[in-house]
Chain A
Amino acid sequence: MDATEMFDLTGQVALITGAASGIGLAYAEILAESGARVMLTSRHAQTLDPQVARLKALGLDVAGTVADVSDDAALAAAFAATVAKWGKLDIAVANAGISGGHGITSPEGMIENLPLEKYLDVIAINQHGVTATVQLAARHMIPNEYGRIVIISSIAGLASELTSYAYSMSKAAIQQLGRMAARQLATHNIMVNVIAPGPVYTHIGDGALDKFPEAVKRFAGIIPQNRLGRTDELKGIALLLASPAASFINGAVIPVDGGALTMRVPPKR
């Protein structure tokens, strides 16, 4: 059995939130290339539509739905559209997330100043949006007694990073969601696992990494390999967890961080 068979998703149906760019887009690519029919969701039609068109032009069986994960009705409609189009749901990747905005090195990020409205905005997407995504996925998967749910957290939820409170707290909360859902849904043959990426070069924070080369250097400094990850480097783990090959992997929280978590005392660079 070669990898193509072990990880074959032919005939399966997937939904990925936050799929128009970055890590979510990489997931959409690898699942579609492995045979799945993939519904990409995003808040932004202007970024979603061109990516859906590009993947279709490559011969991949994908579609797009504009939905904000913090809008329960819109998210439910995206799931319903997926099942209406392809008849079922096998895989859900709860990926949509936003940056917490200011890091804690800026005054706005400090606990005493932190605007609670901004905090609530981040929790609404990164935490409530993921919870709603997992709930809807479970509802569609339970009757079929099969499912793979992949939650995208962050190492910011495993260790205290120089990033915002809201972001870190939301990412820790969804790890616990993953562990609890893994236990509860196992009896329905639905595996739930969590990927915790370290710094990966994406457009998060409206292109913050493009605008601030100092931030890139700073993130690279916390990685033993002294570089950020590429979105392509998240594809292998995502495919594993989405595929039949993950039949006994459940409730795992897997860092994909170039070793950042091993470095509590960062090296001098």
Chain B
Amino acid sequence: MKANDMFDMTGQAGIVTGGASGLGLAMTEVIAEHGCAVTILDRDRGAMAREVARLRGLGYAVDGIEVDVAQFDRLEAAIGAAAEKHGRLDVCFANAGMSGGAGMFTPEGAIETMPLDRYRDVIAVNQNGAFATAKFAARHMIPRQYGRIVLTASVAGLHAEATSYSYGMSKAAIAHLVAPLSRQLAPHNVLVNAIAPGPFVTHIGDGYLQKNPAAVERWAEMVPLHRMASPEEMKGLALLLASPASSYITGAVVTIDGGSSQMRLF
């Protein structure tokens, strides 16, 4: 079997939450490029309209539905609409996430002073939203006895980085979700894996990285490769886990971090 056969997704249908920008957009692009019809679920209406138009212009079957993953009833309806349109749902990227805001070394980020409202907002999107996305997607996959669910975790959920508590905790919960979910769904041939990215240059945090070049340099220092990644570098792994080529990979949490997880000790 050649590479282009293994990774062929012609005739399949997928959803990508947070698919209109950053890592989610790279996921959208790569499965669309390999024949999958994609419905982007995103709360940023403007970015979604722009990307859907651009990708359609390139000849890809891409739609968009405006939805906030923290609103479960609307999320369920959006996933149902995407599955109904194509008569199937093969792939789900539960990717939507937000920055936790201030890190643990700032007063707003320190455990004793951080505002709990902000904490709840981040958990609602990053953790509860991803959980609900996987749940609603599984309902459409189980009857057809095929599926690929890919969760976006983070290395910030595997080790104590100086990110916010809410971000790190939500991502740890997502990384753990892979274990029970993959085990329960394996008999239905629905495979569940997580991608744990290290520092990628995206627009997360309302363009924080674009505004703070010093932060980019600080992140780069944590990576043996000494640079942040571009979203394009996510495509190979995303395609593997979304495609038939991953038929024996389930329950894995795959780091894609340039080796930064190996820099914990001197």
Contacts and interface: CB of A to CB of B under 8 A. Distances in A.
Contacts of A236: 6-7, 240, 243, 245-246, 249
B251 A251 contact: no
A85 B225 CA distance: 30
A237 B251 contact: no
A33 B262 contact: no
Interface stretch (A72-80, A108-116, A162-170, A226-234): A226-234
Interface string A44-82: 000000000000000000000000000000000000000
Given A7-B3, A236-B246, A225 B262 contact: no
Interface residues of A, number: 52
B3 A33 contact: yes
A102 interface: no
A251 B261 contact: yes
B247 interface: yes
B220 to A, nearest CB: 12
Contact of B248 (A3, A182, A247, A258): A258
A192 to B, nearest CB: 8
Given A251-B255, A259-B182, A237 B225 contact: no
B225 A262 contact: no
B8 interface: yes
Interface string B227-266: 0010001111101100101111111101111110111000
Contacts, number: 161
B4 interface: yes
A246 B259 CA distance: 12
Contact of A255 (B4, B7, B252): B252
A247 B198 CA distance: 13
Contact of B254 (A225, A232, A254, A262): A254
B187 interface: yes
B259 A237 contact: no
B2 interface: yes
Contact of A256 (B30, B235, B252, B259): B252
Contacts of A245: 233, 235-237, 239
A248 B262 contact: no
Interface of A: 1-4, 6-7, 30, 33-34, 179-180, 182-184, 186-187, 189, 198, 200, 223-226, 229-230, 232-237, 239-240, 243, 245-252, 254-263
18 contacts: A3-B8, A4-B2, A6-B30, A183-B224, A186-B225, A186-B259, A224-B182, A224-B187, A235-B1, A235-B245, A243-B236, A245-B233, A250-B257, A250-B258, A251-B257, A256-B249, A258-B250, A259-B251
